[in-house]
Amino acid sequence: MSDFLHFTEKRLRPLSPLQSKEALWEAASEVISRYDAYQINQILDELQSILSDSEEGIHRVTKIVQSLRVFTRSVKDDEKSSYDLLDLVHQVFLISKNEVKYVANLEIDVPEDIILYCNGVQIAQVFVNILVNAAQAIKSQKRYNMGTIRIVARQTDPNIIIRFEDDGPGIPKENLSKIFEPFFTTKEIGKGTGLGLSISYDIIVNKHNGSINVRSEYGHGCVFTIVLPIVSA
């Protein structure tokens, strides 16, 4: 984590908003490729901490290793294959579990038979980011009750619609148009890079021909809606 942040800071600090778009994008893409490596390292770090967590035990480790296998099957480039959406959601939950479990109950309303033709690593990265964002937003409220995060999916030909709903603080109106921009974050230094949603946008819109939108009323949570076209292998 600190390595990645250190790199990000070193690479981005000399830049000013007045610099050319190209220079900013070049820096951004360097950071993004580091981010991929960083995410894998983070998963491995988590594995290590789970190994020493005798309570949860070997069962979880086995499951995470299994899910890593699924991800690395299509790691890097733009390779796509068929994934069961519910499996993918369960794997994403396993990976995000430590962030989510103390702050929110996760409700999964995803039918069993939805098959997504996609790059599994990239789509998992999008789901993890949205889920972790929701958990962090709820956590920031310092509330006494658990929050609720719901993942709802439906297949409505020719699309698959996936919604992430949370009952966290929501997003102020003036920020709604900014959250998909690279480096926009409201989190303190060390917590957020502001890259998650811009990477998610790129993955969904440019790499999968889909769309991603947010609806939020400040004080009343958020709904992120992803629409992906059904593509057969």
Q: Interface with Mg ion by CB under 5 A: which range of 48-56, 101-109, 128-136, 209-217?
A: 128-136
Q: What does 144-170 look like in DSSP terms, one character per residue?
A: SS-EEEEEEEEEETTEEEEEEEE-S--
122 scored as a contact of Mg ion (CB under 5 A) = no
Contact 59, 94 (CB under 8 A): no
Asked if residue 149 binds ligand ADP (CB under 6 A), the reply is no
Which CB atom, from 114 or from 197, has the smaller least distance to Mg ion? 197
- Least distance (Å) between residue 135 CB and Mg ion: 10
Closer to ligand ADP by CB, 155 or 175: give it.
175
Distances in whole angstroms, Cα of residue 80 to Cα of each of 25, 38, 76, 122, 140: 26, 22, 10, 10, 36
The distance of closest approach from Cβ of residue 32 to Mg ion in the complex, given in angstroms and rounded to an integer, is: 13
* Nearest 10 degrees: Cα torsion 144, 223, 130, 200: -160
CB nearer ligand ADP, residue 80 or residue 168 = 168
Query: Which of 169, 210, 212, 226 is close enough to bind ligand ADP by CB under 6 A?
Result: 169
- Asked whether the beta carbons of 230 and 155 are under 8 A apart, the reply is yes
Query: Binder to ligand ADP among 168, 203, 204, 210 (CB under 6 A)?
Result: 168
Backbone angles phi, psi at 227, to 5 degrees: -115, 125
Which residues from 214-233 bind ligand ADP, rule CB under 6 A?
222
Residues 19, 12: Cα–Cα separation, whole Å: 11
Contact 166, 104 (CB under 8 A): yes
User: Does 173 sit near ligand ADP (CB under 6 A)?
Assistant: no
With CB under 5 to 8 Å by kind, the binding choice for 222 among Mg ion, ligand ADP, none is ligand ADP
Question: What are the residues binding Mg ion (CB under 5 A)?
Answer: 129, 133, 196
Question: What are the residues binding ligand ADP (CB under 6 A)?
Answer: 129, 133-134, 137, 166, 168-169, 171, 179, 184-187, 192-198, 222
